[in-house]
Amino acid sequence: MTKINQNFLKLPGSYLFSEVARRISAYCAGHPDAKIIKLSIGDVTRPLAPAVTAAMHKAVDEMGTFEGFHGYGPEQGYEFLREAVAQHDYQSRGMDVKPEEIFISDGAKSDCGNIGDIFGADNIVAVCDPVYPVYVDTNAMAGRAGEYQEALGRWNRLVYMPCVKENGFTPEPPKEAVDLIYLCFPNNPTGAVATREQLKTWVDYANRTGAVILYDSAYEAFITGADIPHSIFEIEGARTCAIEFRSYSKTAGFTGNRCAYTVVPLELERDGAKLNSLWNRRQCTKFNGVPYVVQRGAAAIYTPEGKEQTRQSIEYYRENAKIIREGLSAAGLSCFGGTDAPYIWLETPGKMGSWEFFDLLLDKANVATTPGAGFGPSGEGYIRLTAFGDAQATKTAVERIQKIL
Alpha helices in 210-332 (DSSP H): 249-252, 275-286, 292-300, 304-330
User: Which one among 75, 89, 101, 216 touches ligand PLP, defined by CB under 6 A?
Assistant: 216
**Residue with the shortest CB distance to ligand PLP:** 107
Give how many residues touch ligand PLP by CB under 6 A.
Answer: 13
Q: Which is nearer to ligand PLP, 255 or 329 (CB)?
A: 255
Binding status of residue 186 toward ligand PLP by CB under 6 A: no
Based on the shown chain and the rule CB under 6 A, indicate whether residue 303 belongs to the binding site for ligand PLP.
Answer: no
Cis peptide before 189 (omega within 30 of 0): yes
- CA-to-CA separations, 313 to 297, 337, 389, in angstroms, rounded: 16, 19, 12
Regarding 108 and contact with ligand PLP (CB under 6 A), the answer is yes
**Which 251-290 positions form the footprint of ligand PLP (CB under 6 A)?**
255, 260
Interacting span for ligand PLP (CB under 6 A) from 15-23, 123-131, 247-255, 384-392: 247-255
Report the length, in residues, of the chain.
405
Shortest Å, Cβ 255 to ligand PLP: 6
Considering only 78, 103, 132, 233, the residue that binds ligand PLP (CB under 6 A) is: 132
E strand map for 317-392: 335-337, 343-347, 367-368, 370-371, 382-386
Rounded Cα gap, residues 247 and 261, in angstroms: 6
Three-state secondary structure call for residue 76: coil
Rounded to a whole number of angstroms, the minimum distance from the CB of residue 188 to ligand PLP is: 4
Per rule CB under 6 A, is residue 113 in the interface with ligand PLP?
no
Cα 122 to Cα 226: distance, rounded to the nearest angstrom:
39
- Decide: is 42 part of the binding site for ligand PLP (CB under 6 A): yes
DSSP tag of 90: I
SS3 165: helix
With binding defined as CB under 6 A, does residue 218 bind ligand PLP? yes
User: Is 301 among the residues that bind ligand PLP (CB under 6 A)?
Assistant: no
Does position 372 interact with ligand PLP (CB under 6 A)? The reply is: no
Which of 16, 42, 21, 18 lies closest to 387, judged by CA? 42
- Footprint on residues 312-351 left by ligand PLP (CB under 6 A): none
Q: What is the side-by-side strand order in the sheet with 335-337? A: 335-337, 343-347, 382-386, 370-371
Based on the shown chain and the rule CB under 6 A, indicate whether residue 133 belongs to the binding site for ligand PLP. Answer: no
Q: Of 12-20, 101-109, 220-228, 362-370, which segment contacts ligand PLP by CB under 6 A?
A: 101-109
Which parts of this chain interact with ligand PLP (CB under 6 A)? 42, 107-109, 132, 184, 188, 216, 218, 247, 249, 255, 260
